Amino acid sequence: MRNPWFNKLYPIVCPRPPFSWFLLCFVCVLALIAILGSTSSNAFDSLTSISVPIRFTNYRRQKEQVAVDYLELKTLSSGAGRLEELGLCGKEKENYVPCYNVTANLLAGFKDGEEFDRHCEVERQEEQCLIRPPKDYKIPLRWPHGRDVIWSGNVKITKDQFLSSGSMTKRLMLLEENQIAFQSVESYYSHIADLITPGNESEFSRAGVRNVLDINCGFGSFGAHLLSLNLMAVCIAAYEATGSQVQLALERGLPAVIGNFISRQLPFPPLSFDMVHCAQCGIIWDKKDGMFLIEVDRLLKPGGYFVLTSPARPHESSLNKKKGSLLIALKEFTENICWEPLAQGDETSIWQKTEHADCASRKQNAAPLCKEGDDAQSYYQPLVSCISGTTSKRWIPIQHRSSRVQADDFNENLQFWRSALKNYWSLLTPLIFSDHPKRPGDEDPLPPFNMIRNVMDMNAHYGGLNAAFQEEKKLVWVMNVVPVKARNTLPLIVDQRFAGVLHDWCEPFPTYPQTYDMLHANGLLSHLSSESCSMMDLMLEMDRILRSEGWVVLSDNLGAIEMARMLATQIRWEARVIDPHNGSDQRLLVCQKPFVKK
């Protein structure tokens, strides 16, 4: 007598074409494998030796998995509903960054520099396709060698831009035809450190500096040196079609994000950085009645530093006159926001933000204070002319290091992510995909064969994954992203001196293609389902910013993960679903993006 459950799920019918019988046989084989797998060892288990269970050891879960596989096969095999792989975009989109279409922005009426800003609202719906890597693209060199040498074919930079790079942070030299090498700026760093703390030029941290925002960072050499000293530096620069500072910094494995000083606040909370650095960054600081300086003040922690370097050449007398007039204007503006001049030289000027929250209220001609709550969610809000953060509980001078957030404050959260990271790291190997081709000459690849350096946590919560990476001393950095409609935990993240931004995942992320090695998201898919955002648009955006041979780890409920797995087949990812907790509705989707060129 037939099992009634089996009849209900897979009804017995009259003979059909051979493919239907193949489906039925395949499902039966799946069921047999699932049952036998609970009592026998698996070759995959012996290869990876991980603590996360890969097979279901629960009969209810076996039935559930068989049903899911059957329905997916049925969908894929049906003529009208077949999910076909998406095609590749044209070569003109190799460097495509959505929301930065200057022509469309001008037609929409944006001017006075705002046409160069981010405007996703004017982005027209385009054909869904996969961004291909450049013709000469190569997997980046391993860290830390990749910090100083990159493949020139991986970035879009013209010969003229290369030869005309004259800024102190843009010194380059050509090693070979296909490589660019970057020189150290250690002497420049020592000069600034000596101006801040005379006699301790090798110790930024003695002055309380642990994280830095580098505005228009050149090619990231200043940030690269800071990272070598275990200081976090985030580059932020305007969108550039070619010769992009952000793209080059990310290619070197340095934290960077597209953003500019035009009309909107940057996507960071108040009181985020110990130092804001500008070396010939091109910002006209006395424009808009000093509103750009007020934005810097919003980002600086109490006692933090603003460093402005403008190298002048002796024969450029007009430049010296212009610089002199700028410093005169800055003197008035900085006094109005309670900054004290700390050092002034021929090339570098340094100001220090006040430690006293009531300074502006006691000072004549000072900028007004913002109303409480005005800066609660600083996500591309218009620039303001008032001083913020003075009533925040986070108003703690940077020199008071004992008052900062410590990992122990999130010990329970850290314990969870410490275990999760070990499981993730074990899974990040091509051996998880039995049909994954090895590169010619390679031995069996094992972690960290995949050369993970740039990591994005797309739903960062409290930054626990970042803390676990740091504790395990993995050679990675993490861009912690907090969705704008989730609880705003970004202040807690930046207070741990981690890189992080607010972002709306219904929109593209402000970065260039092929810039991240690993994307992680815990609960993001189900979170976005409540916002009516397209999961396919999200997956395509992830594919755009993910490097070739990069990894995706998604953790969510069964329904969201199964939908993501089906979409992953369309964008050519190799994907596996893993049950990390028997009896739970949670699943892991582990994917790798293949190296596709045509």
Of the three residues 311, 339, 362, the one that is the final residue of a domain is 362
Q: Are residues 428 and 355 in the same domain?
A: no
Q: Are residues 469 and 344 in the same domain?
A: no
Dihedral sign, CA of 234, 235, 238, 244? negative
Structural domain of residue 563, as residue ranges?
59-89+404-434+447-593
Spatial neighbors of 14 by CB under 8 A, at least 6 apart, are: none
Q: Are residues 574 and 513 in the same domain?
A: yes
Q: Are residues 412 and 306 in the same domain?
A: no
Of the three residues 362, 384, 413, the one that is the final residue of a domain is 362
- Amino acid 202: pLDDT: 60
Q: Are residues 283 and 429 in the same domain?
A: no
Domain-located, residue 33: no
Of the three residues 328, 347, 362, the one that is the final residue of a domain is 362
- Amino acid 446: pLDDT: 58
Domain-located, residue 110: no
Q: Are residues 408 and 357 in the same domain?
A: no
Q: Are residues 312 and 240 in the same domain?
A: yes
Q: Are residues 417 and 530 in the same domain?
A: yes
- Residues shown for the chain: 598
Domain-located, residue 157: no
Give Cα 310 distance to the centre of its chain.
30
- Amino acid 309: pLDDT: 93
Spatial neighbors of 261 by CB under 8 A, at least 6 apart, are: 215, 283, 292, 295
Considering only CA atoms, which of 221, 219, 189, 220 is closest in space to residue 205?
Answer: 189
- Amino acid 77: pLDDT: 43
- Amino acid 463: pLDDT: 94
Number of domain units in the chain: 2
- Amino acid 52: pLDDT: 33
- Amino acid 594: pLDDT: 92
Domain-located, residue 13: no
The CATH number of the domain where 537 resides is what? 3.40.50.150
pLDDT along the chain (598 residues), means of 10: 32 42 51 42 31 34 43 43 80 92 91 90 85 92 91 83 51 70 88 83 80 93 93 95 92 96 91 95 89 96 94 51 71 93 88 93 85 69 90 90 61 86 85 57 54 94 94 94 92 94 95 97 90 90 96 95 95 92 86 85
Q: Are residues 311 and 429 in the same domain?
A: no
Q: Are residues 69 and 200 in the same domain?
A: no
Q: Are residues 341 and 427 in the same domain?
A: no
Q: Give the ranges where 78-185 is alpha helix by DSSP (H).
A: 102-107, 145-148, 159-163
Residue 353 tokens, joined: 């933000």
Q: Residue 279's beta-bridge partner residues?
A: 309
The one-letter amino acid code at 164 reads S
- Amino acid 490: pLDDT: 94
Domain-located, residue 410: yes
Q: Are residues 65 and 190 in the same domain?
A: no
- Amino acid 441: pLDDT: 47
Domain-located, residue 127: no
